Amino acid sequence: MPAALCLIQVTTARHFPLRNNRTKNAAGTPLALSDLFIGEKPVRGLDMLHSINLLRTLSCYAIAIFHIQAFVHAHSDTVHLTFSASPGFHLFLAISGFILVYITRPDDTPLNFMMKRTVRIIPLYWAATTITLLLVLARPWLFHEADTSLSSIASSYLLLPHYDLGGDIQPILFVGWTLGYIMLFYLLFSLSLFMPERVQVPTAIVMTIGVIAGAKLLPAGAYREFYGDPILLEFAMGCLIGLTLRQKAIQEWVKRTPMWPLGLLGIAGFALVMSVTLPSWGRMAVYAVSSGLVVFACAGQDLFRKPLHNEFLSMGGKISYGIFLIHPLLITAFGVTLFRITSNDWVATLLMFVTVLPLTSVLAYLSFRYFETPTNTWLRKAFRLSKLPPKSVRNATPEMRPTVV
């Protein structure tokens, strides 16, 4: 069920050294990994992770397919789609944890790091939530489980766990509950930046385990159920992947070892868990390990072996956040309309796939280019987050454009 999104800005060269040893720009400023050169061409952060971008793109489309499947099953007695797209959720969680380690600079302050993540996530989420709320008020039958009480609206905007009218813990824009986990983990990770650099990632992992254990002490309710969910461990696993890839011995092993067998092993794990009946903890364990293998393989390939080079993959990763937040609105609007105007549920189902997925992609691209990028750039400047170099070179004036991904 959980989904998550991955947002990339910059990282440090000494944690993830590449084949080129150039680590300073013309001004003498230490380069982040995203500013390192491959050959003579500068490569920005997200553009370097082509395999991860492919994985992000496939994951967010898998999430959209999962929700189309769920909508069809809820509205049709004759159509039963037997395939499963659930691995997309778990891949996104693991990628999110890895990206947090990848983007962190040595001199990031907790407040600066948290603010950068917040101004990236909140504007589009609030915009999508507002659109959803207006649709709920105008056409309540589209979102019949949405709670429009003032407390629910406030909790939705603040990403606080609460029950909807159907008894599920989710905000008015139902996929937003995932962002509650994302923001919690961002907060824990930002707090870990108070610690010495070598123990920051382990501290974030320990705090994550502490939140899960501490939630069990709360009285029964949404907070206990939400924050006590072990799904948070999949974020921690992603962080562990990032920490592992910082180790020199692991880097050398990756350089001389093909990564595709690990990826295939992870895919085999997905196939296993989707074909057999396992208890909930067993399913989560298999999904987590399988996701970890696939993410490790893709990250290792991108960072220390021959990466893919494809601008389409780069753009797919950049618009993944828009795909994640926009597709629920289109599924509901198109789904209800198509099932009403067609007399054949199979035709309506097919039309949902051929309309919702392409239109979501187009709208996500437009959102990224004309809303997310300008908004993020303006907010970074307003909060003095743009072009902010590490404290050790704060007096330098490196040329660093803000990257929105």
- pLDDT score recorded for residue 281: 78
- pLDDT score recorded for residue 189: 92
Please give the Cα distance from 355 to 383 (Å, whole number): 39
pLDDT along the chain (405 residues), means of 10: 37 38 41 34 54 87 90 89 75 88 81 92 97 92 87 96 93 92 92 90 92 93 93 88 92 93 92 79 84 93 82 80 94 90 92 95 96 93 66 37 39
Please report where in the chains the tokens 């220390």 appear, as a residue.
304
Please give the Cα distance from 169 to 171 (Å, whole number): 7
Residue 2 located in a structural domain: no
Residue 403 located in a structural domain: no
- pLDDT score recorded for residue 45: 52
Closest alpha carbon to 227 in 242, 210, 215: 215
Bridge partners of 41, per DSSP, are 38
3-state secondary structure of 278: coil
Please give the Cα distance from 331 to 203 (Å, whole number): 40
- pLDDT score recorded for residue 255: 93
pTM: predicted TM-score of the whole model, two decimal places: 0.82
Please give the Cα distance from 156 to 159 (Å, whole number): 5
- pLDDT score recorded for residue 385: 79
- pLDDT score recorded for residue 84: 67
Tell me if 72 sits within 8 A of 81, measured CB to CB.
Answer: yes
- pLDDT score recorded for residue 387: 52
Residue 16 located in a structural domain: no
Residue 196 located in a structural domain: yes
- The secondary structure element, H or E, covering residue 16 is none
Residue 55 located in a structural domain: yes
Residue 243 located in a structural domain: yes
- pLDDT score recorded for residue 81: 82
Per the structure, the count of domains in the chain is 1
388: alpha, beta or left? (left if phi > 0; alpha if psi -120 to 50): beta
Residue 180 located in a structural domain: yes
- pLDDT score recorded for residue 317: 82
Residue 296 located in a structural domain: yes
- Domain region containing 269: 33-393
Structure-token pair, residue 108:
């990031």
User: How buried is residue 308: exposed, middle or buried, by Cβ count under 10 Å (0-12/13-18/19+)?
Assistant: middle
Please report where in the chains the tokens 């997309």 appear, as a residue.
88
- pLDDT score recorded for residue 39: 30
Bridge partners of 169, per DSSP, are 163
- pLDDT score recorded for residue 49: 81
